[in-house]
Structure 1
Amino acid sequence: MSHGLSVTSSFLSIRIFSGKDLEADVKKSVEILAPAGSFESMKAAVAAGADAVYIGGSRFGARAFAENPGEDKLLEAIDYVHLHGRKLYLTVNTLMKEQEMKELFEYLLPYYKQGLDAVIVQDLGVLSFVREQFPDLPVHASTQMTITGVHGAGLLKELGAERVVTARELSLKEIRQIKDQVDVEIESFVHGALCYCYSGQCLFSSLIGGRSGNRGRCAQTCRLPFDVKDGGKTLGKKEDRYCLSLKDLCTLDIIPDIIEAGVYSMKIEGRMKSPRYTAGVVSIYRKYADLYLKKGRGGYKVEDGDRKMLLDLFDRGGQTEGYYKQHNGRDMIVWKEKPSFREGNSQLFEMLDRDYVEKQLKEPVTGKVLLTEGEKAVLILQRKEHRIVTEGDLVMTAQNQPMSEEKVLKQLNKTGNTSFQFEKLEAEINGKIFLPVQALNDLRRRGLEALEAEILHKYRREYKNTDAPGKRRDILNSRVSGTTKLTVSLEKPDCFDTVVNNTDVKRIYIDAAHFEPERWNQYVKTCHDRGKQCYLTMPHIFRTEAQQFFERHQISLKEAGFDGYLIRSMEEPGYLKNAGIEGNLIFDFGMYGMNNRAQEMLMELGAHEITWPVELNSRELEKLEIPGELLIYGRLPMMVTAQCIHQGLERCDKTPVVLNLRDRMGKEFPVKNHCTFCYNSIYNSAPLSLLGLGDSVSSLSPASLRLQFTTESPKETESVLQVFADEFLNGKKAGAFLTEFTRGHFKRGIE
């Protein structure tokens, strides 16, 4: 097991394309991937031309409130898509608590045996479990993993993911870089709702109401109205209150760009929407993907009627091409309240219901029936490479009028509720034959059932893994006792002197976004002179801006002598290794070690220490076997966003400011724009405080305790330090201190 950066594996599979490679790659068929929030939506998607659907089962999916099918219906859905030559991916894309990991094997096993085509995962523990227990089941890395570049994609490839679902915020150029350098399939969203926050980095719904987006229970807080305050001044127009509500994504005009950037699977969002919506959107994207693949850019043109059709299906305030060609922008936001009523396009809806939702999809087969007097009836069926010969009852001699070829074919053509229809059916009749209608029906039924079984047989699997389900590797760490370290995370340089001069603090994290690189070595030296460790806090989001920043300041980074780095993105371990930057890695709570297997994976990826997740309660934290750092004070980042409220309501002057979002209840949430890396953080209205819970914290035996300062002044920082050190280190009861605070999830947890 790894305990430092120097032993992190080299995980990038480099692949550079030539111009001819690109042209050949683009000509390959792309996948239209449709949402299926129900069995009916799945059928509508297949009828409308989807190559694959993604659907949740009864558990562990990121749309817990969709009409997710139970086991029997989901098994039927797997067979349905396979009979029609399509694929089904199961969403297992939530973070798992330790007790849930024990249920995962029995949950997945029947779907695996039925022929499930892939699982979509967010949790590293789930990824590890699937690779171990079902090694031939493809794994797709969910957009919830916040994959924003080459290093993260390469890491997931090394861990066994065949496909990466990119963060919605990536540009075409960034996607192209992944395609060029990592041998992994790329899936990207092309239509539907956009989250305001980077997926996997949102705690807003969780902290406000206990409904975690990481657990498929998002309450869509971003669709609510907020006032933006700058001091006592309200910014923007009175009606511009929906500042976190993004327009829906629509990429019809840039489909050629998306495909040429390397996207193989074009993903449509909408598992909470109706079968009618699914069918309509899929049919349009099927049309234009095929148009581009057939005629190229020269013959590609989008019809205005198709744009209108998509708006008629759903319109919350306009559409946007998203982030593919711009980093953010005011024009991507809805701003105003969605109209309470819009007249529906009844003609469109009737067409979609008739042609897709209610349509019974049939696969063409060819057949030949042999009816010879005195011999058994024979039906030969052919569907692509599958050929079935079925024997029926004995053909009798007609006593009166022999059966005609016309009558035989008419009866056999009645395929009813089956998945097949005859595109060609012949009859060879020898003699004066008679066969009861019931016998003909039985022959057809058994023949089509045998054909269906033959088609589905190639998808069936037997579970062959000899390891016991849930078998775990040895954990080298165990809970420890003894003196607990106090660590401090700082975003504001003006608080540094206050913290570095406090004798109780053993480690300081300074934020790369706000502590100037030219003085990094001074900060480190000052820490070391006072017997403290100094770590650099890496950005929440590591994209082009971050890579360019660290390349500009690579000498300062190497010469600073940091003891290590607080890792907050999947991209960062790989970047630091490739750049030759040495030091211990502490993985922050946003790296999500929610269960023991996930924590083991983080250690194998190079973590020297782990920060315990902030969405687990104390009883759940007890189940984690690797000691972690526990956050005991600080404003939690509720959202990390590519959008910038300062830019949207005022201007982009590359000046970090702190604004406040005021909700309908009068709560104010600080918003800070980190211009260095071009992202925003929206913090909770009240800081997390575990003051008064010293005994509960101590019983967990954390490796260290962290105080996280974001918007506090030096004076406030000094007061917090003193009170928390008194209780957690010196055994003094602090009593009342903060007028407003939250226990976060330490007591209540999440659903």
Structure 2
Amino acid sequence: MIKKPELLAPAGSLESLKGAINAGADAVYLGGKLFSARAYATNFDTETLKSAIDQCHLFGVKIYLTINTLLKNEEMDSLYNYLLPYYKQGIDGIIVQDFGVLNYVKKNFPDLPVHGSTQMNSHHYEDINLLEQLGVKRVVLARELTLSEIKTIKENTNIEIETFVHGALCYCYSGQCLMSSILGGRSGNRGRCAQPCRLQYTLRKGQTLDRNYKSKHFLSPKDINTIEVVPELIDLGVDSFKIEGRMKGPEYVAGVTSIYRQIIDEYIEKGNYNKLMLTKHHNTLLELFNRGGFSKGYYYGKKNEEMLSMDNPKHQGRVIGEVIELHNKKITIRTFEPIREGDVLEVGADNTIPDKLKVMEYTDKNKHLKFILKNPYKGKGLNTIKALKVYRTKNELLLKELKDQYISTDKNILLSATFKCIKNEPMVLELKDKNFKIIKKGDKVEQAKKQPLSKEKVANQIKKTGNTFFAIDHLELIMDEDIFVPISAINHLRREALETLENEILSKYRRNNEATQSVMPVFSHTNTSKKVIASFETIHQAYHALSIPDLDSIYVSCHPGEYGVLEAFIKRCHEKNIEVYVLLPYVSRQKDATRHSEWINQLEHSSIQGYVVKTLGQLKQLQNSNKEIVLDYNLYAFNNYAINEWEKLKAYHYTVSPELHYKDMKKLPLEQFDLWAYGHLPLMVTDQCITHSMKTCNKQNEEQYIIDRYHKAFRVQSKCDGCYNVIYNTNPTVLIDQMENINRLNIKGLRLHFTNEKKEDIIHITSSFIEAFKHNKMVQLNIKDFNRGHFLRGVE
């Protein structure tokens, strides 16, 4: 028998919650007022969220709370009181990114299921097995995975797997993006992403601008639409299908949920689905929201240019007409299908005409519409005009139908009732739904002295369920004919019975056991010897650092096939008392599993001091290694609880998050941390390839850049061996003028990360930091354009 997956819908507001439940969601996810990755959604205050929990549970719908941001030490203190009322009310689980939150919840709320957010970047079964080892019940997979990789994950893991089936995609691997944070101070890891991926950029190769791709939205993926992929995901045994969209309106949530509900149910029941209906569903989804069409995501492998909305990252709607005449400010269009008053039309896929044309009056007899534009048209003539398609970006009728069916109309829990009203006995009201039955007794029934109660009047009173979620669709009355009971007594009995039934249903979700608040983990601070670390993308570049006196360590990226070169390099380093650590790749996918495992085995037999680890799977593979493990900055040690959790995995050496203000660092045991003190910070790690999106290739590793609206150039490095790109910040982070603050922190090591710097620059920069950090000398670097990251400004 085919396993039926959970259909999980977003709820950014009470209306969206109602729309999701009424449209058939099995579960919803939402955020409260704190710690949510959608800080700009409406979200729910305490009492509203508690009511939402009850509303979901009355309809048999699960509800998950997002606490999927990184928390600073001082914020951990408020997590207990924030979570406690939802825990007691019966929240079904929480979605987390921060390992500190994971640690905290296990200590304080041990019976509360925890789901690993997609921001944990789980793209290999080893990632998931490590999370299972830590007590995670479900993992939301990275969105870059193919069906084949999901199949392998299901075959090699035991916990629940959740995948996205519809909605917006991040350009970068989830949780790896620092672009919004570093450029604008709004951190995606803190729920405030400003979406710089939706802006325009120009492509530059070397020093030459590519005129064919000027001002394109290179980083803007289309939304995914997997209505055709659903059967394969069901067959793979995926446990939960997630719809993205907590920032979307209730009609969007209801419409998308209802379509996936139909497709899932039809496939489960019949083993197939009506392909003729797919066109209708597809058109509905286009009108609800799309960015120049949809993609199927990465499920069939990436097709770079087909996945991107490079011309227009905003809602494009659906083609419903064309321009037939355009002169100065007057435009005439012909429509292919009926449109309605209130519809909004736009001309051209890339908003050729910026005006939004709102339909004020329309009849089916008149297929031509005329509008007056705000500004004169400055196009290139008749051929251009006839090529212009007209898109409907607001379908008034569709939105009204969705609102009427799923949002304005209340869904009820249907009850059968039996009301006994026998003379000289107490009233008895029995209420039943498919799972519960309660019986309530009321006042004693008297013989009527004047006008006896009629069955019609009693039935009307019993059926008044008020503002509850119940409705009585079957009522059996067992009554004597000459009786009297005050109407107020019948109403009281009905209200009491409905309240008892509601409490009976909800009681199985309530948690009455008292959680106890843990104390913040405290680490003994010890003085540590200061280390300067030079970090390199290649062994060839790392050789430039061997002549630098007093350099302590080198972190270097290298690849299978370079073992002999690495061994020779290690020997040279050890001759100069320099430690060597290998930088592991940002991504370790299933296709690289065999090669990566063999590489780790080789490295285990080498004389390196340790590894700089970037994924959970890498950490899992190295749990039995005798070499030192350094967690890179993307495996966040944002708070003491996170450190406590990492220590369970024998990881004791960390990298300070680039998003922490130096004052936020003070409570961390910094003698166990490296601080990124120099280098072009990687802003995005992406499965997409900039040059492949332009239908070319960059295996020659030519210097390439994307240029933003402020003419800042961001270098894009092609990592062809792992098939991903890294986009670096335009200017380096430089903290050499912050040595007074750094020295107060008792930091373990300063990390200087070099990408494309020349030999003389590497030597000068490294030597200067050694003088400043280890020898307390005043040193200045002659670097014109640089930044200090978040060291002095932090993030909200």
Q: TM-score range by the shorter chain?
A: over 0.9
Q: Note if 1:604 corresponds to 2:648.
A: yes
Contact 1:545–1:676 (Cα < 8 Å) also in 2:
no
Match of residue 744 from structure 2 = 699
Q: What amino acid sits opposite 2:413 in the alignment? A: E
Match of residue 709 from structure 2 = 664
Q: Give secondary structure in 1 for the equivalent of 2:466.
A: coil
Q: What amino acid sits opposite 1:665 in the alignment? A: Y
* Counterpart-to-counterpart distance in 2, 1:422 and 1:482: 72
How many correspondences in the alignment? Answer: 720
* Counterpart-to-counterpart distance in 2, 1:497 and 1:258: 48
* Counterpart-to-counterpart distance in 2, 1:631 and 1:343: 46
Deviates further, 172-181 or 388-397: 388-397
* Counterpart-to-counterpart distance in 1, 2:273 and 2:224: 24
Per-residue CA deviations over 1:46-99 (Å, capped at 9, x if unaligned) read 010000000000100100010011000000000000011111100001011000
Contact 2:162–2:242 (Cα < 8 Å) also in 1:
yes
* Counterpart-to-counterpart distance in 2, 1:228 and 1:32: 40
Q: What amino acid sits opposite 2:517 in the alignment? A: P
Match of residue 571 from structure 1 = 617
Aligned-residue offset at 1:666: 1.0
Match of residue 54 from structure 1 = 29
Aligned-residue offset at 1:398: 2.3
Contact 1:550–1:557 (Cα < 8 Å) also in 2:
no
Identify the match of residue 480 of structure 1 among 523, 526, 532.
526
Per-residue CA deviations over 1:252-283 (Å, capped at 9, x if unaligned) read 00101112223110000000010110000000
Q: Give secondary structure in 2 for the equivalent of 1:423.
A: strand
Deviates further, 74-83 or 384-393: 384-393
Match of residue 7 from structure 2 = 32
Pick closer, same or farther for the CA change 1:120–1:242 going to 2, 3 Å.
same
Per-residue CA deviations over 1:353-407 (Å, capped at 9, x if unaligned) read 0010111110011110001123222111112232111222332322344323233
Q: Give secondary structure in 2 for the equivalent of 1:29.
A: coil
Identify the match of residue 470 of structure 1 among 508, 514, 518.
518
Q: Note if 1:133 corresponds to 2:108.
A: yes
* TM-score, with length taken from structure 2: 0.88
Q: What amino acid sits opposite 1:82 in the alignment? A: H
Contact 2:538–2:558 (Cα < 8 Å) also in 1:
no
Identify the match of residue 520 of structure 1 among 566, 588, 594.
566
Deviates further, 693-702 or 300-309: 300-309
Q: Give secondary structure in 2 for the equivalent of 1:629.
A: strand
Per-residue CA deviations over 1:605-647 (Å, capped at 9, x if unaligned) read 1224111111111111111025211111011111110001021
User: Where do residues 184-583 of structure 1 align in structure 2 (5 Å cutoff)?
Assistant: 184-235=159-210, 237-238=212-213, 241-297=216-272, 302-337=277-312, 338=314, 339=351, 341=356, 342-465=392-515, 468-472=516-520, 475=523, 478-512=524-558, 516-551=562-597, 553=599, 556-577=602-623, 582-583=626-627
Aligned-residue offset at 1:520: 1.6
Aligned-residue offset at 1:167: 0.5
Deviates further, 162-171 or 236-245: 236-245
Aligned-residue offset at 1:581: 5.5
Contact 1:328–1:642 (Cα < 8 Å) also in 2:
no
Match of residue 795 from structure 2 = 750
Aligned-residue offset at 1:119: 0.5
Q: What amino acid sits opposite 2:290 in the alignment? A: D
Contact 1:370–1:427 (Cα < 8 Å) also in 2:
yes
Aligned-residue offset at 1:674: 0.8
Contact 2:175–2:189 (Cα < 8 Å) also in 1:
yes
Q: Give secondary structure in 2 for the equivalent of 1:253.
A: coil
* Counterpart-to-counterpart distance in 2, 1:529 and 1:259: 57
Q: Note if 1:643 corresponds to 2:688.
A: yes
Contact 1:667–1:685 (Cα < 8 Å) also in 2:
yes
Q: Note if 1:123 corresponds to 2:169.
A: no
Match of residue 16 from structure 1 = none
Aligned-residue offset at 1:588: 0.8
Identify the match of residue 757 of structure 2 among 708, 712, 716.
712
Pick closer, same or farther for the CA change 1:722–1:626 going to 2, 3 Å.
closer
Contact 1:658–1:673 (Cα < 8 Å) also in 2:
no
Q: What amino acid sits opposite 1:503 in the alignment? A: P
Match of residue 614 from structure 1 = 658
Aligned-residue offset at 1:552: 5.3
* Counterpart-to-counterpart distance in 2, 1:496 and 1:57: 48
Gaps of 5+ in 2: 315-350, 357-391
Q: What amino acid sits opposite 1:557 in the alignment? A: L
Deviates further, 90-99 or 290-299: 290-299
Q: What amino acid sits opposite 1:502 in the alignment? A: I
Match of residue 149 from structure 2 = 174
Deviates further, 65-74 or 646-655: 646-655
Contact 1:492–1:711 (Cα < 8 Å) also in 2:
no
Gaps of 5+ in 1: 1-23
* TM-score, with length taken from structure 1: 0.93
Q: Give secondary structure in 1 for the equivalent of 2:212.
A: coil
* Counterpart-to-counterpart distance in 2, 1:651 and 1:548: 29
Pick closer, same or farther for the CA change 1:472–1:555 going to 2, 3 Å.
closer
* Counterpart-to-counterpart distance in 2, 1:440 and 1:661: 73
Contact 1:640–1:682 (Cα < 8 Å) also in 2:
yes
Identify the match of residue 73 of structure 1 among 39, 42, 48.
48
Pick closer, same or farther for the CA change 1:514–1:233 going to 2, 3 Å.
farther
Contact 1:599–1:626 (Cα < 8 Å) also in 2:
no
Contact 2:768–2:781 (Cα < 8 Å) also in 1:
no
Q: What amino acid sits opposite 2:161 in the alignment? A: I
Deviates further, 334-343 or 617-626: 334-343
Aligned-residue offset at 1:650: 4.0
* Counterpart-to-counterpart distance in 2, 1:63 and 1:553: 39
Q: Give secondary structure in 1 for the equivalent of 2:678.
A: strand
Contact 1:631–1:705 (Cα < 8 Å) also in 2:
yes
Deviates further, 736-745 or 402-411: 402-411
Match of residue 741 from structure 1 = 786
Pick closer, same or farther for the CA change 1:293–1:189 going to 2, 3 Å.
same
Aligned-residue offset at 1:513: 5.0
Deviates further, 538-547 or 78-87: 538-547
Q: What amino acid sits opposite 2:667 in the alignment? A: K
Contact 2:670–2:747 (Cα < 8 Å) also in 1:
no
Q: What amino acid sits opposite 1:464 in the alignment? A: E
Match of residue 18 from structure 1 = none
Match of residue 635 from structure 2 = 591
Match of residue 136 from structure 2 = 161
Match of residue 731 from structure 1 = 776
* Counterpart-to-counterpart distance in 1, 2:542 and 2:561: 10
Deviates further, 432-441 or 30-39: 432-441
Q: After TM superposition, what 4+ stretches of structure 1 lie above 6 angstroms from structure 2?
A: 298-301
Contact 1:222–1:245 (Cα < 8 Å) also in 2:
yes
Q: What amino acid sits opposite 1:487 in the alignment? A: I
Pick closer, same or farther for the CA change 1:259–1:550 going to 2, 3 Å.
same
User: Where do residues 677-692 of structure 1 align in structure 2 (5 Å cutoff)?
Assistant: 677-692=722-737
Pick closer, same or farther for the CA change 1:308–1:253 going to 2, 3 Å.
same
